[in-house]
Amino acid sequence: MLLTAFDGFLSLLTLAMLLLAVAALVMAAIARDDAYRAADKQSKMFWLIILGVTVAVNLFVPMLFLQIAGVIATIVFFVDVRPALRQVSGGGRGRGSSSDGPYGPYNGGR
């Protein structure tokens, strides 16, 4: 019974790793090629290959140490590369003034 629960947990963990890798691959493919150079990161092709191999490993070669290496690459993309690409591309938050509140500029009660 305990092994069945652990097997189910590992299945969910494998599915989560696959979904994160696919999401990272899609985000890497959508980003512009020049944004990688402007953010001083590895090339777009590098990240597409690394994340593509990660997706393939998660789908076809369920070896835990290879999956862990893929998770590390995916985490590096999400934590380091994607925020740098968003900053260079001008996407996301942070485009307004430093005095902007959640509903527009803060004018000090005037």
CA angle centred on 12, ends 8 and 16, rounded to 5°: 170
Model confidence pLDDT, tens digit, residues 52-72: 999 999 999 878 899 999 999
Beta bridge partners of 13: none
| Residue 43 belongs to a domain | yes
Query: What amino acid occupies position 52?
Result: G
pLDDT at 110: 57
Q: pLDDT class for 38, splitting at 50, 70, 90?
A: very high
CA angle centred on 108, ends 106 and 110, rounded to 5°: 105
| Residue 51 belongs to a domain | yes
Mean pLDDT of all residues in the chain? 86
| Residue 44 belongs to a domain | yes
Q: pLDDT class for 103, splitting at 50, 70, 90?
A: low
| Residue 73 belongs to a domain | yes
Q: How many domains does the chain have?
A: 1
Q: Please provide residue 97's backbone torsions phi and psi, each rounded to the nearest 5 degrees.
A: -70, 160
Host domain of residue 52: 29-89
pLDDT at 5: 85
